[in-house]
């Protein structure tokens, strides 16, 4: 068991002793704060997890056993002028419409911005490259890459969501989404800024690292009084198999 695990708080357990095999776990919801779990609806299907004939449920996000000092990066980003240089995901009607970002690493975006290539091809197969030189981003990405036995690095994004802002429920699709594992590192995340899926939501501290499944519906509510700044790092690892398998 990871030393990072703090405690489990379980409410609403099924006291009937009923066999829960096959029960729809997606109807249960729990909250993760640090590495403690609190179930807020439904009940936990322990029998399902013990039953070898039933595929164990895999949560939409799990904590990675590494933390980062992000103070220096936060200082750089709070005065950074590159947010919104490229406006690909925050157009009207997009689930990311209230957000600005920096595409620190991805494929060359110039052909898409000029109209030379259609925008829908931006998620097709490609090799990523560094588009901005932000040393602390490179340092953290390289350290995580080594920690998870990376074999190829994909996109690295920095996102900023204003106080009261939302990233609406959505899933990510395309070649890139399907071929890289996704890691979330909060750089600035005050109380009230929550990353959510149908089965769980996380309330992380700055510098934590979470691997998450962006093939499932996910969203962000920033109900804090400060902007939320986060880093997304996409890595194909030698020991993880298919992307999005937590």
Q: How far apart are CA 118 and CA 168, in angstroms?
A: 24
Strand order from edge to edge, sheet including 150-161: 61-63, 210-212, 181-188, 228-237, 150-161, 100-106, 129-130
pLDDT at 55: 60
Left (φ > 0), alpha (ψ -120 to 50) or beta: where does 171 sit? Answer: beta
Torsion angle, alpha carbons of 45, 168, 235, 133, to 10: -150
Encode the chain (246 residues) as per-residue pLDDT tens digits.
Answer: 333 333 323 233 333 333 333 333 333 444 444 433 333 433 333 333 333 445 677 899 999 999 999 999 999 998 888 897 776 665 567 888 899 999 999 988 888 888 888 888 887 888 899 999 999 999 999 999 999 999 999 999 999 999 999 999 999 988 888 899 999 999 999 999 999 999 999 999 999 999 999 999 999 999 999 999 999 999 998 754 444 455
CA distances from 109 to 92, 114, 195, 200 (A): 20, 9, 28, 34
Under a CB-based contact definition with an 8 Å cutoff, are residues 25 and 200 in contact? no
d(CA 121, CA 79): 32
Q: What is the pLDDT of residue 37?
A: 37
For the chain, the structural domain boundaries read 8-57, 71-237
> Which homologous superfamily is 71-237 in?
B-lactam Antibiotic, Isopenicillin N Synthase; Chain (2.60.120.330)
């Amino acid at each position: 068991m990871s030393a990072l695990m703090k405690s489990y708080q379980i409410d609403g357990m099924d006291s009937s002793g009923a066999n829960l095999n096959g029960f729809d776990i997606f109807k249960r919801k729990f909250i993760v704060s640090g590495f403690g779990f609190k179930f807020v609806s439904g009940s936990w299907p322990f029998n399902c997890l013990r039953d070898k004939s039933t595929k164990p449920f895999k949560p939409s996000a799990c904590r990675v056993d590494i933390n980062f000092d992000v103070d220096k990066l936060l200082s750089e980003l709070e005065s950074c002028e590159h947010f919104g240089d490229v406006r690909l995901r925050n157009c009207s009607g997009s689930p990311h419409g209230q957000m600005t970002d920096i595409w620190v690493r991805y494929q060359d975006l110039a052909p898409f911005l000029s109209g030379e290539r259609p925008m829908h091809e931006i998620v097709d197969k490609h090799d990523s490259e560094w588009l901005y030189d932000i040393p602390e981003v490179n340092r953290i990405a390289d350290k995580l890459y080594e920690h998870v036995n990376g074999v190829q690095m994909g996109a690295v994004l920095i996102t900023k969501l204003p106080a009261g802002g939302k990233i609406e429920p959505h899933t990510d699709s395309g070649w890139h989404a399907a071929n890289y594992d996704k890691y979330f590192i909060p750089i600035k995340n005050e109380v009230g800024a929550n990353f959510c899926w149908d089965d769980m939501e996380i309330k992380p501290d700055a510098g934590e690292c979470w691997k998450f499944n962006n093939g499932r519906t996910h969203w962000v509510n920033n109900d804090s009084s400060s902007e939320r700044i986060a880093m997304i790092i996409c890595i194909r690892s030698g020991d993880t198999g298919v992307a999005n398998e937590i």
